[in-house]
Chain A
Amino acid sequence: MAILVTPETKVLVQGITGSFGARHARLSLEYGTSVVAGVTPGKGGQMFDGKVPIFDTVAEAVKETGATASAVFVPPAFAADAILEGVDAGLDLVVCITEGIPVNDMVKVKRAMEGRKTRLIGPNCPGIVTPGDGKDSHGGCRIGIAPGYIHRKGHIGVVSRSGTLTYEAVWQLTCRGVGQSTCVGIGGDPVNGTSHLDVLKMFNDDPDTHGIILIGEIGGSAEEEAAEWVRQHCKKPVAGFIAGATAPPGRRMGHAGAIVSGGKGTAKAKIEAFKAAGIGVAETPSEMADTLLRMM
């Protein structure tokens, strides 16, 4: 098993004809992911790369192909609409890669998703990878923009806000011969669909995940909430790293949500919460994998 997606998951790509969406749809296909449909309003009936049918609406794509998950690559101004179209079509999972969505659009999206079955990952995230059995983890499910080949099938769950910092952790594991169950990038925006805590709970319940790397960064209090839950409920070893200890207060560090404001969201407070919860804290980002492996 794994969490959220398996190699069998049928994926559609919203915005498959844009340059970014097309590039990553191709990379997912090469990785062996079953990308079964694309959606671009106005291009229904065409084929993507001669093998993936394009539909005008998500509902049609779901009906015709049985897709249950979506990757959203549409521009920021249209992303809220694209996410809610996926929700309306009854998808299990919508992964929104788009960066730069207005915060109030996401406030509305989260409100509209209340009581619906769809889970949203992101926005402004690298997506999800459940590695496959093949060479360089080929044959897995890749939704988003992560490099597939750095993964290896195994039993460590990785959850992080950041893309490249996730790749760094995954690569450290893979280089040590340790594989991953699923790697989830939840995104760097202040309002996102799925929190560190949500993913931790899934990893905790997944029999195939034996240890967890939890990567946080300055801003908000999601890491503290996750740590408190780990302290009380988590049955598996968790190692973590918090980025941004050197970031000056009041400045946004690239990610819209990565800001220390009003004395809240500091790396220090998050690291203390991790330590209090028994989470192994990596002293430097170079030691994320080793910190976890020492605990296992």
Chain B
Amino acid sequence: MNIHEFQARQLLAQSGVAVPPGDVCDTPERAKAIAEKLLADGAKLLVIKSQIHSGGRGKGVFKNGYKGGVKLCKTADEAFEIARAMLGNVLVTKQTGAEGRLVSKLLVALAPQIEKELYLAVLLDRSVSRPVIMASTEGGMDIEEVAAKTPEKIVREHVDPAVGLMPFQARKLASALGLGGELMNPAVKLISGIYRAWWENDASLVEINPLCIVRGEDDKRALLPVDAKISVDDNALYRHPEIQAMRDLAEEAPLEIEASKHSLNYIKLDGNIACLVNGAGLAMATMDIIQHYGGMPANFLDVGGGASKEQVTAAFRIILQDPNVKGILVNIFGGIMDCDVIATGIVAAVKETGLKLPLVVRLEGNNVQAGKQTLSAAGLSLIPADSMADAAQKVVRAVSEQAKR
């Protein structure tokens, strides 16, 4: 699960990481009030940041023509005007797609005087099953680009989960980032805090980009995370109710939310052939084989290993809410689950939804004969198939023939 930047800042602060002063708001009046407070506390420059789950916000453009989802300003009145332009409008970035995201919250924060931008992230290294801290002197850039062009500028430190991050490891990282002298001890505190935020919150990613060397009012140098991204392991949310409460449904596709209510794993894609499959691997493979035969999958949909009649019906309802869908492929390998139960679910779903689109069904496995019988006895105009290849070819053909008519 992804959370907003202002929420990530809260988690970091709870782990002892100092963040630039600031607050979140949802009205221009409130933005102005936060700005007044920050200016009264001595801030010279402020930043106003759209809170959506997307990178590239600064270069984004609002649908009303307003440019930039991240803006700097110097007065509370400017903060008010910027907030009024952003709030309630849809921001399009390179990551949101053309539909963009509605901005309903803003972070108003002190914009520090930045001397240098660094990069720091904690994530899981799957190849060794251990956490790894990645750091780079090339902050503020896309880390994938740094990894591709100048891999030597990324340092990695693995953490032994039995002992956690040791201070010497934080010192090694600080040293590699050039944070010696008076910045060494603050760097160790910061890196340890960021690792703690990763581990204690069951995060899958904590990314600080940029992590900045800043010059404070007293002319002293300090370290501040200027942007923060945190994703949390869905499987661990049960033990973090406070993070679960941070879920923002406005950031998720409505059909995916609906699917999750029925314990269905649904992801909307851009094609026009919907698929309904049991098991994630088989569901991916079904999408692949549709494309192999010239079609485009409209979704990923895993009904799980033991799908019920109700789940199959719900799955049909969800699939049919996607207006792009022109045909449906059902691919069930009923290992343990009874194919006849699935067939009964399909018949009920077709009747309930009044399905008019071509429907290809491939059933295999336990009690498959009874299942096939149930389907043919129902008198539906569905197209039976014997193998995955047969099913994919049939649905692609049916959809293209329908398009010609």
Contacts and interface: CB of A to CB of B under 8 A. Distances in A.
Interface in A157-190: 160-168, 171, 188, 190
Interface centre among A106, A168, A222, A257 (most CB of B within 10 A): A168
Contact of A246 (B204, B279, B288, B365): B288
Interface in A138-164: 145-147, 149-150, 160-164
Interface centre among B124, B126, B238, B297 (most CB of A within 10 A): B126
A254 B280 CA distance: 5
B277 to A, nearest CB: 8
Interface centre among B124, B131, B333 (most CB of A within 10 A): B333
Given A168-B333, A254-B265, A287 B366 contact: no
B202 interface: yes
B248 interface: no
A262 B205 CA distance: 12
B281 to A, nearest CB: 2
Contacts of A255: 280-281
A69 interface: no
B360 to A, nearest CB: 14
Nearest to A265: B126
A284 B336 contact: no
Contacts of B284: 217-218, 243-244, 246-247, 253-254, 258
Nearest to A172: B387
Given A164-B335, A284-B292, A285-B388, A104 B282 contact: no
Nearest to B240: A102
Contacts of A267: 288
Nearest to B386: A286
Interface centre among A102, A146, A217, A263 (most CB of B within 10 A): A102
Given A285-B388, A286-B388, A246 B297 contact: yes
Interface stretch (A40-48, A107-115, A200-208): A107-115
B129 A191 contact: yes
Contacts of B392: 284
Given A101-B235, A149-B366, 8 more contacts: A102-B233, A104-B233, A106-B129, A107-B131, A168-B285, A190-B126, A247-B284, A251-B267
21 contacts: A107-B130, A107-B161, A149-B366, A150-B365, A164-B277, A164-B279, A164-B281, A164-B305, A168-B364, A190-B126, A222-B126, A244-B287, A246-B284, A246-B288, A247-B284, A254-B300, A255-B281, A262-B147, A284-B389, A284-B392, A285-B288
The 9 closest A-B pairs by CB, nearest first: A162-B281, A254-B280, A164-B279, A147-B335, A165-B281, A102-B236, A286-B389, A164-B282, A285-B285
